[in-house]
Chains A and B, each alone.
Chain A
């Protein structure tokens, strides 16, 4: 089983749609969780951290379910500019501080 798993997509959605991505992780001791966005041929950039209580930033909402070991990202009112690959990232923390990326989910927002 991979340490971090995501549905690779692609997700093709019309502008204005709501889209949700899920990600599961295998190490129950993992400490920090993030969503990153990567545009084509660019480096990943932090979209948002994911907190146990859930957190929202404008049209983006992130949730963490430690019991089921998954995190989610919800994008409301999709814009063309949201088209990118969304990467789930888990920091296993502890002595290793190992940072593991999911394979990414490709989102294409259509006009």
Chain B
């Protein structure tokens, strides 16, 4: 079945450590996105990518980094520079053309301890 997979589902990190969240899709979508959601809040855009080897900062990119070396994969690194990293992270993908509705992975809950 086609879909988008995020791993791990739960992640604990010590302060000062970098951590990488995985996002893989087999939908042949060109565009991929990372969002952060805090309790009771909406989704805020961190980074997005339209094609391989290209990506753009979203509204809250500070303290995060991404890469897009393959069409299927768009990993997000939460660096130690991110001051409040505890949140629910969601990855999404869309076609670049047409209706472009987004499909989501199940999310990663990151907790800094």
List chain B residues, Cβ under 8 A from A104. Answer: 42
Would you call A87 an interface residue if the criterion is a C-beta within 8 Å of the partner chain's C-beta atoms?
Answer: yes
B31-A87 in contact (CB<8A):
no
Candidate in B42, B48, B96, B99 with the most chain A CB atoms within 10 angstroms: B42
Q: How many A residues face the partner with a CB closer than 8 A?
A: 24
B42-A103 in contact (CB<8A):
yes
A87-B43 in contact (CB<8A):
yes
The stretch of B11-19, B60-68, B79-87, B100-108 in contact with A is B100-108
Query: Of A41, A97, A100, which is within 8 A of B94 by CB?
Result: A97
B94-A101 in contact (CB<8A):
no
Would you call B90 an interface residue if the criterion is a C-beta within 8 Å of the partner chain's C-beta atoms?
Answer: yes
Chain B residues in the interface with A (C-beta under 8 A):
31, 33, 35, 41-45, 48, 50, 56, 58, 88, 90, 92, 94, 96, 99-107
A91-B107 in contact (CB<8A):
no
Query: Which residues from 41 to 79 on chain A have a C-beta closer than 8 Å to any C-beta of chain B?
Result: 41-46, 49
Within the assembled complex, what's the spacing in Å between the Cα atoms of A49 and B98? 12
Within the assembled complex, what's the spacing in Å between the Cα atoms of A80 and B96? 36
Within the assembled complex, what's the spacing in Å between the Cα atoms of A97 and B101? 11
Within the assembled complex, what's the spacing in Å between the Cα atoms of A63 and B100? 18
A34-B45 in contact (CB<8A):
no
List chain A residues, Cβ under 8 A from B94. Answer: 91, 97, 99
Within the assembled complex, what's the spacing in Å between the Cα atoms of A31 and B99? 9
Within the assembled complex, what's the spacing in Å between the Cα atoms of A99 and B46? 11
